[in-house]
Amino acid sequence: MRAGASLDDGLTPLLYGIHAGLYARAGLDIELQPSSSGAALAQAVAGRTIDVAKSSLMALITAYAHGIKFKLIAGAALFSSDFPTTQLCALRDSAVKTALDLSGKTIAITALQSLETIAIDSLIDQRGGQSATVKFIEIPASTMLGALEQGRADAAAIPNPSLADAVATGRVRAFAAPYSGLGKHVLIGGWFCSEDYAKQNPDIVEKFAAATREAIFYTNAHHAETVPLLAAYAHLDPEVVKRMNRATNAATLDVTYIQPAIDAAVKYKLIDKGFAASELIAANL
Protein backbone atom coordinates (compact mmCIF):
# COMPACT_ATOMS: atom_id res chain seq x y z
CA MET A 1 0.00 0.00 0.00
CA ARG A 2 1.56 3.27 -1.15
CA ALA A 3 1.09 6.07 1.42
CA GLY A 4 2.12 9.70 1.00
CA ALA A 5 2.45 12.26 3.78
CA SER A 6 4.19 15.39 5.01
CA LEU A 7 6.73 14.99 7.81
CA ASP A 8 4.90 16.29 10.85
CA ASP A 9 3.51 14.93 14.11
CA GLY A 10 0.34 13.76 12.39
CA LEU A 11 2.51 11.08 10.79
CA THR A 12 3.55 9.58 14.15
CA PRO A 13 0.81 6.90 14.30
CA LEU A 14 1.70 5.60 10.84
CA LEU A 15 5.40 5.50 11.76
CA TYR A 16 4.59 3.65 14.97
CA GLY A 17 2.21 1.29 13.16
CA ILE A 18 4.94 0.37 10.69
CA HIS A 19 7.61 0.08 13.42
CA ALA A 20 5.39 -2.04 15.71
CA GLY A 21 4.17 -4.29 12.90
CA LEU A 22 0.50 -3.30 13.20
CA TYR A 23 0.06 -2.93 9.45
CA ALA A 24 2.04 -6.08 8.73
CA ARG A 25 -0.24 -8.06 11.05
CA ALA A 26 -3.20 -6.71 9.09
CA GLY A 27 -1.61 -7.98 5.89
CA LEU A 28 -0.53 -4.55 4.66
CA ASP A 29 2.94 -3.63 3.44
CA ILE A 30 3.15 0.17 3.77
CA GLU A 31 5.46 2.01 1.37
CA LEU A 32 5.80 5.54 2.77
CA GLN A 33 6.49 8.37 0.32
CA PRO A 34 7.27 11.70 2.04
CA SER A 35 6.11 14.94 0.41
CA SER A 36 5.93 18.57 1.46
CA SER A 37 3.18 19.43 -1.02
CA GLY A 38 -0.45 18.70 -0.27
CA ALA A 39 -1.39 19.54 -3.85
CA ALA A 40 1.13 17.00 -5.14
CA LEU A 41 -0.26 14.33 -2.82
CA ALA A 42 -3.83 15.01 -3.94
CA GLN A 43 -2.76 14.79 -7.56
CA ALA A 44 -0.93 11.53 -6.87
CA VAL A 45 -4.00 9.99 -5.21
CA ALA A 46 -6.24 11.13 -8.07
CA GLY A 47 -3.73 9.78 -10.59
CA ARG A 48 -3.36 6.44 -8.75
CA THR A 49 0.42 6.79 -8.28
CA ILE A 50 -0.17 6.48 -4.52
CA ASP A 51 -3.09 4.78 -2.77
CA VAL A 52 -3.61 6.89 0.35
CA ALA A 53 -2.26 10.18 1.64
CA LYS A 54 -2.43 12.47 4.63
CA SER A 55 -3.92 15.87 3.88
CA SER A 56 -5.18 18.96 5.63
CA LEU A 57 -8.94 18.94 6.13
CA MET A 58 -9.37 22.18 4.19
CA ALA A 59 -7.80 20.70 1.07
CA LEU A 60 -10.27 17.81 1.17
CA ILE A 61 -13.23 20.14 1.77
CA THR A 62 -12.22 22.35 -1.15
CA ALA A 63 -11.67 19.36 -3.43
CA TYR A 64 -15.05 17.86 -2.53
CA ALA A 65 -16.80 21.19 -3.13
CA HIS A 66 -15.28 21.19 -6.63
CA GLY A 67 -16.47 17.69 -7.45
CA ILE A 68 -13.32 15.71 -6.58
CA LYS A 69 -14.66 12.93 -4.39
CA PHE A 70 -11.82 12.07 -2.07
CA LYS A 71 -12.82 9.99 0.95
CA LEU A 72 -11.48 10.18 4.51
CA ILE A 73 -10.51 6.75 5.83
CA ALA A 74 -8.61 7.57 9.05
CA GLY A 75 -7.97 10.54 11.27
CA ALA A 76 -4.72 12.43 11.64
CA ALA A 77 -3.99 15.56 13.69
CA LEU A 78 -6.88 16.67 15.90
CA PHE A 79 -6.93 20.12 17.46
CA SER A 80 -7.62 20.03 21.17
CA SER A 81 -8.06 23.30 23.03
CA ASP A 82 -6.33 21.66 26.00
CA PHE A 83 -3.08 21.00 24.08
CA PRO A 84 -2.87 23.28 21.02
CA THR A 85 0.00 22.55 18.65
CA THR A 86 -0.43 25.83 16.74
CA GLN A 87 -0.68 29.14 18.57
CA LEU A 88 -1.28 32.75 17.64
CA CYS A 89 1.81 34.59 18.84
CA ALA A 90 2.95 38.20 19.09
CA LEU A 91 6.11 39.90 20.30
CA ARG A 92 6.32 40.02 24.07
CA ASP A 93 5.87 43.84 24.15
CA SER A 94 3.19 43.94 21.42
CA ALA A 95 -0.13 45.70 21.99
CA VAL A 96 -1.83 42.59 20.58
CA LYS A 97 -3.05 40.73 23.67
CA THR A 98 -6.18 38.89 22.50
CA ALA A 99 -7.96 37.86 19.30
CA LEU A 100 -10.06 41.04 19.55
CA ASP A 101 -6.88 43.08 19.03
CA LEU A 102 -6.32 41.47 15.62
CA SER A 103 -8.85 43.66 13.79
CA GLY A 104 -6.99 45.65 11.14
CA LYS A 105 -3.76 43.74 11.74
CA THR A 106 -1.50 41.60 9.54
CA ILE A 107 -1.28 37.92 10.48
CA ALA A 108 1.34 35.49 9.20
CA ILE A 109 0.13 31.97 8.40
CA THR A 110 1.62 28.99 6.59
CA ALA A 111 -1.08 28.80 3.89
CA LEU A 112 -3.68 31.19 2.54
CA GLN A 113 -7.30 30.04 2.12
CA SER A 114 -6.68 27.36 4.70
CA LEU A 115 -8.32 25.94 7.80
CA GLU A 116 -6.20 28.42 9.78
CA THR A 117 -7.62 31.44 7.97
CA ILE A 118 -11.27 30.56 8.52
CA ALA A 119 -10.59 29.51 12.11
CA ILE A 120 -8.84 32.81 12.87
CA ASP A 121 -11.60 34.76 11.10
CA SER A 122 -14.16 32.91 13.21
CA LEU A 123 -12.22 33.53 16.42
CA ILE A 124 -11.89 37.27 15.75
CA ASP A 125 -15.59 37.65 14.95
CA GLN A 126 -16.61 35.61 18.01
CA ARG A 127 -14.56 37.95 20.22
CA GLY A 128 -16.30 41.02 18.78
CA GLY A 129 -13.63 41.98 16.23
CA GLN A 130 -13.87 42.48 12.47
CA SER A 131 -12.22 39.69 10.51
CA ALA A 132 -12.88 41.49 7.22
CA THR A 133 -10.24 44.07 8.19
CA VAL A 134 -7.48 41.48 8.69
CA LYS A 135 -4.68 40.91 6.17
CA PHE A 136 -3.11 37.44 5.96
CA ILE A 137 0.37 36.84 4.57
CA GLU A 138 1.76 33.40 3.72
CA ILE A 139 5.27 32.60 4.94
CA PRO A 140 7.10 29.47 6.16
CA ALA A 141 6.72 28.70 9.86
CA SER A 142 10.49 28.89 10.34
CA THR A 143 10.53 32.60 9.34
CA MET A 144 7.58 33.77 11.44
CA LEU A 145 9.63 34.97 14.41
CA GLY A 146 11.68 37.09 12.02
CA ALA A 147 8.53 38.49 10.40
CA LEU A 148 7.25 39.59 13.81
CA GLU A 149 10.56 41.20 14.77
CA GLN A 150 10.84 42.97 11.40
CA GLY A 151 7.31 44.35 11.67
CA ARG A 152 6.04 42.52 8.61
CA ALA A 153 3.35 40.88 10.73
CA ASP A 154 1.57 41.87 13.93
CA ALA A 155 0.81 38.27 14.87
CA ALA A 156 1.64 34.82 13.55
CA ALA A 157 -0.05 31.42 13.72
CA ILE A 158 3.03 29.33 14.47
CA PRO A 159 2.86 25.52 14.38
CA ASN A 160 5.21 23.08 16.08
CA PRO A 161 8.12 22.51 16.00
CA SER A 162 8.70 26.19 15.10
CA LEU A 163 6.32 27.20 17.90
CA ALA A 164 8.42 25.48 20.55
CA ASP A 165 11.58 27.13 19.21
CA ALA A 166 9.99 30.61 19.04
CA VAL A 167 8.53 30.49 22.56
CA ALA A 168 11.83 29.18 23.95
CA THR A 169 13.57 32.40 22.81
CA GLY A 170 11.45 34.43 25.23
CA ARG A 171 10.87 37.05 22.54
CA VAL A 172 7.28 36.07 21.77
CA ARG A 173 4.23 34.99 23.72
CA ALA A 174 1.30 32.85 22.67
CA PHE A 175 -2.08 34.46 23.27
CA ALA A 176 -4.70 32.31 21.50
CA ALA A 177 -5.25 28.94 19.86
CA PRO A 178 -6.43 29.72 16.32
CA TYR A 179 -8.45 26.57 15.72
CA SER A 180 -10.55 27.28 18.81
CA GLY A 181 -12.56 29.55 16.53
CA LEU A 182 -14.09 26.34 15.14
CA GLY A 183 -14.57 24.43 18.39
CA LYS A 184 -12.92 22.61 21.27
CA HIS A 185 -11.95 19.74 18.96
CA VAL A 186 -11.33 20.17 15.22
CA LEU A 187 -10.00 17.66 12.74
CA ILE A 188 -6.96 19.33 11.18
CA GLY A 189 -6.06 16.52 8.79
CA GLY A 190 -6.75 12.96 7.85
CA TRP A 191 -5.82 10.01 5.68
CA PHE A 192 -7.77 9.84 2.43
CA CYS A 193 -8.06 7.93 -0.83
CA SER A 194 -10.05 8.33 -4.01
CA GLU A 195 -13.71 7.33 -4.02
CA ASP A 196 -12.94 4.65 -6.63
CA TYR A 197 -10.14 3.16 -4.50
CA ALA A 198 -12.43 2.99 -1.46
CA LYS A 199 -15.15 1.24 -3.46
CA GLN A 200 -12.79 -1.20 -5.17
CA ASN A 201 -10.73 -2.04 -2.07
CA PRO A 202 -13.08 -1.98 0.94
CA ASP A 203 -11.17 -4.69 2.82
CA ILE A 204 -7.83 -2.92 2.42
CA VAL A 205 -9.34 0.40 3.46
CA GLU A 206 -10.91 -1.16 6.57
CA LYS A 207 -7.65 -2.88 7.52
CA PHE A 208 -5.70 0.36 7.11
CA ALA A 209 -8.28 2.27 9.17
CA ALA A 210 -8.28 -0.35 11.95
CA ALA A 211 -4.48 -0.53 12.19
CA THR A 212 -4.22 3.26 12.16
CA ARG A 213 -6.80 3.52 14.97
CA GLU A 214 -4.80 1.05 17.04
CA ALA A 215 -1.64 3.06 16.43
CA ILE A 216 -3.41 6.31 17.34
CA PHE A 217 -4.68 4.94 20.65
CA TYR A 218 -1.11 4.00 21.57
CA THR A 219 0.67 7.13 20.34
CA ASN A 220 -1.85 9.53 21.92
CA ALA A 221 -1.04 7.97 25.29
CA HIS A 222 2.72 7.51 24.81
CA HIS A 223 4.14 10.78 23.49
CA ALA A 224 7.46 10.39 25.27
CA GLU A 225 8.06 6.95 23.79
CA THR A 226 7.53 8.20 20.22
CA VAL A 227 9.98 11.12 20.41
CA PRO A 228 12.91 9.15 18.88
CA LEU A 229 10.69 7.73 16.14
CA LEU A 230 9.38 11.11 14.94
CA ALA A 231 12.69 12.91 15.43
CA ALA A 232 14.62 10.37 13.37
CA TYR A 233 12.17 10.18 10.48
CA ALA A 234 11.37 13.91 10.27
CA HIS A 235 15.00 14.97 10.92
CA LEU A 236 14.09 16.97 14.03
CA ASP A 237 16.08 17.64 17.17
CA PRO A 238 14.71 15.24 19.83
CA GLU A 239 14.93 18.03 22.43
CA VAL A 240 12.61 20.19 20.31
CA VAL A 241 10.14 17.31 19.98
CA LYS A 242 10.21 16.84 23.76
CA ARG A 243 9.43 20.54 24.38
CA MET A 244 6.54 20.92 21.97
CA ASN A 245 2.89 20.07 22.58
CA ARG A 246 2.55 16.78 20.74
CA ALA A 247 -0.33 16.27 18.34
CA THR A 248 -3.38 14.39 19.45
CA ASN A 249 -4.61 12.31 16.52
CA ALA A 250 -8.25 11.49 15.86
CA ALA A 251 -9.04 7.84 16.52
CA THR A 252 -12.52 8.25 15.05
CA LEU A 253 -13.87 10.26 12.14
CA ASP A 254 -16.44 12.20 14.15
CA VAL A 255 -18.56 14.50 11.96
CA THR A 256 -18.74 17.03 14.80
CA TYR A 257 -14.99 17.56 14.38
CA ILE A 258 -15.50 18.30 10.66
CA GLN A 259 -18.83 20.05 10.07
CA PRO A 260 -17.88 23.43 11.67
CA ALA A 261 -15.00 23.75 9.22
CA ILE A 262 -17.30 23.12 6.24
CA ASP A 263 -19.81 25.66 7.54
CA ALA A 264 -17.07 28.26 8.14
CA ALA A 265 -15.65 27.65 4.66
CA VAL A 266 -19.03 28.66 3.24
CA LYS A 267 -19.39 31.66 5.57
CA TYR A 268 -15.95 33.02 4.66
CA LYS A 269 -16.43 32.22 0.95
CA LEU A 270 -13.75 29.57 0.47
CA ILE A 271 -16.42 27.32 -1.06
CA ASP A 272 -19.76 28.23 -2.63
CA LYS A 273 -22.00 25.60 -1.07
CA GLY A 274 -21.90 23.48 2.06
CA PHE A 275 -22.48 19.76 2.45
CA ALA A 276 -22.81 17.16 5.20
CA ALA A 277 -19.50 16.11 6.76
CA SER A 278 -20.58 12.47 6.45
CA GLU A 279 -20.18 12.78 2.67
CA LEU A 280 -16.41 13.11 3.13
CA ILE A 281 -16.09 9.80 4.97
CA ALA A 282 -15.74 6.43 3.26
CA ALA A 283 -18.56 3.94 3.78
CA ASN A 284 -18.42 1.43 6.67
CA LEU A 285 -15.96 3.47 8.72
Supply the pLDDT for residue 6. 83
Comparing CA positions, the residue from 2, 18, 77, 66 lying closest to residue 271 is 66
Domains of the chain: 2-79+186-254+265-280 (3.40.190.10), 86-181 (3.40.190.10)
Reported confidence tier of residue 220, pLDDT bands at 50, 70, 90: very high
pLDDT digits 0-9 by tens, 156-200:
999 988 998 899 999 999 999 999 999 999 999 999 999 999 999
Supply the pLDDT for residue 42. 86
pLDDT digits 0-9 by tens, 96-112:
999 999 999 999 999 99
Region 73-91: what's the mean pLDDT?
93
